[in-house]
Structure 1
Amino acid sequence: MSDIPDIEALTPYARSLGIALDRWEDGTPIMAVSFDEMVEGRPDHYHGGATGGLLETAGYAALRAELARLKREAVLKPINITVQYLAAGKSRTSYARGRITKLGRRSANITVEAWQDDPARPIATAVMNVLMAEPSG
């Protein structure tokens, strides 16, 4: 699948952490962030905010990809995000993938998982609820 517009257009926060599109799997963008001092919390471990930022970025990327596939335009506005930290992220690359669990006319529900070595062993998960507003203009 070719890159879908806006997946690379990350927020300044995501760019500052080094979050980038790693690859596509089954039409879903896989986001990644390499470990460095910008994402370090306690020595040799990811800061929880950096992990949360990766999860949120992957969730929005999955939603943008699905909306583009459906040829829908929307302004995305967060309703809420709930993060569960399951294991400490160590000093290596972390990955995340979002999955749309419900896509309505005005809102979307997304589940997201972040992992390091094995997608079956997530280090954190998130549930996101996003409002999809009509583009103005």
Structure 2
Amino acid sequence: MSDRGNPDALTPYARSLGIEISGTEDGVPVMCVAFEEAVEGRPEHYHGGATGGLLETAGYAALRAELAERGREALLKPINITVQYLSAGKSRTSYAKGRVTKLGRRSANLTVEAWQDDRTRPIATAVMNVLVADPKD
């Protein structure tokens, strides 16, 4: 059975980093990852790839939730993702939430923010463009 249409499904990569759903806001999952060895880069700081993985996972979760709300089933294929690292992620839980800024018939544009203690002070943001393909194609 496929998890493709399930907005709460996590990829094996996300699970390997320890990313989980901490809750939902306005029907959109908020993702989190605890600080553990799997996400550590330099001592006591998140690896940039782990932060990028959290952002990407949150973006896809937001898009899957939007598609599910509209009753659409689709294969999601990345076009590009641009990450802006704003400050170092320290040794505590990080959170991320995506927002669909545009959903068309064949593509979607998303913005994502990651934060730790203070949501108004993001540690990283991302802009994602995703191909929304018909599963029959």
Please report the TM-score for the alignment, with normalisation by the length of structure 1: 0.94
Instruction: Give the match for residue 43 of structure 1.
Output: 43
1:53-99 per-position Cα deviation (integer Å, ceiling 9, x unaligned): 00000000000000000000100000000000000000000000000
Q: What is the CA-CA distance between 1:6 and the residue it aligns to? A: 2.0
Q: Distance in 1 between matches of 2:7 and 2:50?
A: 19
What aligned pairs does 1:67-82 form with structure 2 within 5 A after superposition?
67-82=67-82
Q: Distance in 1 between matches of 2:23 and 2:69?
A: 17
Instruction: Give the match for residue 110 of structure 2.
Output: 110
Q: Distance in 1 between matches of 2:8 and 2:123?
A: 24
Does the CA contact (< 8 Å) of 1:7 and 1:21 recur in 2?
A: no
Q: Distance in 2 between matches of 1:25 and 1:126?
A: 19
Q: What is the CA-CA distance between 1:8 and the residue it aligns to? A: 3.1
Q: Distance in 1 between matches of 2:16 and 2:98?
A: 21
Pair 1:122–1:23, CA change in 2 (3 A): same
Does the CA contact (< 8 Å) of 1:54 and 1:96 recur in 2?
A: yes
Q: Distance in 1 between matches of 2:12 and 2:38?
A: 13
Report how many residues are paired. 133
Does the CA contact (< 8 Å) of 2:108 and 2:129 recur in 1?
A: yes
Identity of paired residues, percent?
77
Letter of the aligned partner of 1:36 in structure 2? E
| Unmatched runs of 5 consecutive residues or more in structure 1 | none
| Unmatched runs of 5 consecutive residues or more in structure 2 | none
Question: What is the SS of the residue equivalent to 1:50?
Answer: helix
RMSD: 1.1
Instruction: Give the match for residue 7 of structure 1.
Output: 7
Q: Distance in 1 between matches of 2:122 and 2:7?
A: 23
Q: What is the CA-CA distance between 1:136 and the residue it aligns to? A: 2.4
Please report the TM-score for the alignment, with normalisation by the length of structure 2: 0.94
Letter of the aligned partner of 2:73 in structure 1? E
